[in-house]
Amino acid sequence: MMGKQVLFLINGPNLNLLGTREPNTYGSDTLDDVVQLVKNTAEGFKIVHHQSNHEGDLVDYIQSAGKEADGVILNPAAYTHTSVAIRDAISAISVPVIEVHISNVHRRESFRHHSYISPVSSGQIVGFGVDGYRLATLGLIEKIRKGEEK
């Protein structure tokens, strides 16, 4: 069956500041560069991008993705470590969600080692810098082609 050929790219708090925010940790590429990278990688798919600094907005975008997309590339940023609401939104949809972290959260502060999101995500890419979004896109498309739901 032909899918919708749509992927949602969802970025959480402070990722609007990419490029100037802690460049030693997150690099110098901007959020626009990230969107372009995902668009260039996701051949044959339309990319719908949302960024918000507000938890409830992210819940709304994930719910919409469940209706409008074949899969989601999600960097929940700091909400990774705090948000049951975002986790429950992912549990409520049936399309695959790939969790991305630009930095290697496992070699940073211990509060970044726990993710509420990982147990409900289909895969996780951590520590590859902004290139992680490209890797996540390739992996997500492969899962969709194989017909994996979650």
Four-point Cα dihedral 103, 109, 111, 112, nearest 10: 10
Is residue 26 annotated as part of the catalytic site, yes or no?
yes
Query: Which of 26, 61, 79, 133 does the annotation list as catalytic?
Result: 26
The least distance separating ligand DQA from the CB of residue 101, rounded to whole angstroms, comes to: 4
Shortest Å, Cβ 90 to ligand DQA: 15
Q: Does 83 help bind ligand DQA (rule: CB under 6 A)?
A: no
From residue 145, give the alpha-carbon distance in Å to each of 1, 2, 70, 100.
10, 10, 10, 20
Name which position in 41, 61, 101, 143 contacts ligand DQA (CB under 6 A).
Answer: 101
Among 51, 52, 80, 83, binds ligand DQA (CB under 6 A): 80
Q: Does 52 bind ligand DQA (CB under 6 A)?
A: no
Q: Which of 61, 79, 101, 116 is catalytic?
A: 101
Burial profile 60-93: b = 16 or more Cβ within 10 angstroms, e = fewer = ebbebbbeebbbbbbbbbebbbebeebbebbeeb
Q: Does 105 participate in binding ligand DQA (rule CB under 6 A)?
A: yes
How far is residue 18's CA from residue 14's CA, in Å, rounded to a whole number? Answer: 7
Residues that are catalytic: 26, 101
